[in-house]
Amino acid sequence: MAEVTCSFCGRNKKDVDLMISGIHAHICDKCITQANQILSEEKKANTGSDGTPNFNLVKPKEMKSYLDEFVIGQDEAKKVISVAVYNHYKRLMQQKADDDVTIEKSNIVMVGETGTGKTYLARTLARILQVPFCIADATVLTEAGYVGEDVESILTRLLQAADYDTEAAERGIVYIDELDKIARKSDNPSITRDVSGEGVQQALLKLLEGTTVNVPPQGGRKHPDQKMISVNTENILFICGGAFDGISRNIAKRINTRPMGFASSGDALKPLDVENDNLLRYITAQDLKSFGLIPELIGRMPVLTFLNPLDGDALRQILTEPKNALIKQYQKLFEMEDIKVEFEDEALDFIVEKAVEYKLGARGLRSICEAIINDAMFEMPSDDKAKKLKIDRSYAEEQFSKSKYSKLKVA
């Protein structure tokens, strides 16, 4: 029987600790260790001479045009995010210059009603990025020592997205959703301990600004016997989003408009000429403070942008235009059953009318479509003769009237 030797170095099997066999070759543990060192050095060589990573920079216009393919409208928010992410790339590539100019990171807050596309914008952004990206939820976080998750668990998700490569994770981007849910519950912080509100905001302060954090690799609570991974958050960009329900009242109060009621003819102060349907465009850090975010947290998120409420035209575009539009999804589902689906314009108008009426945003479109098409999705796959489904307004109205959504009272 022929002796087994390493195909790389020629060592005999008895001279090494471990020999791994392939189909027509073998490799010993010493060659594996050496190959691993070469691979690590090669990865370092792919970074700049000063250790800064070499990225293929995605320009803001290119990034926005990519977002436009999937997300309808919201040009202001797209521009702000595209510029912030582009600057984040440039910041990572910053050479150690002789002048002491250091580019600071600009964390972002996005404010917008439910169903306007905050989380969807972040998910779409993740597809184009060449840095680790994760989406975390602020609602599960609590102050250290209480039931829930520590703020460090946010970075656990980032580490997982980077395959536990700490260097890659330290130049990543984190999207924190539902930021408004950790607002201070009471104006007087001394009444009770706010462990899932103000306590979380205080724990986030150093994380957003930049510090070295010990992160539990599997998430959850930290305990002394657990092995920790040290992560520096100085180069991690944080994007936060929230609905901030009711913040329009604070804005209206500040800019002296009256959302309802009558102004007397002798009023010395005249309401400003503003759009009452979208007061979010006038949002400032002062409004976030009055909503319940602490000033220290607001100061660490200097870029503030808003998302417009979706009107009928935008909702109609969302139904049909994006690459993964809702109508295209239903057509794909039926196509798998060899059934062709056709939505008439009048039926689409009806869906949009109901979505505007119930003020549920883009999510409302999905609920209404499901109510209309559910019976067809139940019956047609079992019907061998069914080859086409045409949805007109009368069919849409009839199906919708049977559903529970038709019983909703409009606020």
Q: What is the rounded CA–CA span in Å between residue 128 and residue 55? A: 13
Ramachandran angles phi, psi of 240, nearest 5°: -115, 145
Tell the burial category of 262 from Cβ atoms under 10 Å away from its Cβ (0-12, 13-18, 19+). Answer: exposed
Q: What is the rounded CA–CA span in Å between residue 165 and residue 151? A: 20
Q: Do the annotations mark residue 369 as ligand-binding?
A: no
| Host H or E run for residue 134 | strand 133-137
Give the tokens for residue 139.
């609602």
| Residue 124, C-beta contacts closer than 8 angstroms, at least 6 positions apart | 66, 67, 70, 71
Q: Do the annotations mark residue 240 as ligand-binding?
A: no
Q: Do the annotations mark residue 28 as ligand-binding?
A: yes
Which amino acid is located at 391 in the chain? Answer: I
Alpha helices for 46-107 (secondary structure H): 60-68, 75-92
| Host H or E run for residue 145 | none
Question: What distance lies between CA 13 and its chain's CA centroid?
Answer: 52
Half-sphere exposure of 75 (CA within 13 A, CB side): 2
3-class SS string, 172-241: CEEEEECHHHHCCCCCCCCCCCCCCCHHHHHHHHHHHHCCEEEECCCCCCCCCCCCCEEEECCCCEEEEE
CB 77 within 8 A of CB 283: no
| Residue 250, C-beta contacts closer than 8 angstroms, at least 6 positions apart | 287, 290, 291
CB 230 within 8 A of CB 212: yes
First to last CA, the chain: 85
Point out the annotated binding site for Zn(2+). 6, 9, 28, 31
Instruction: Tell me the binding residues.
Output: 6, 9, 28, 31
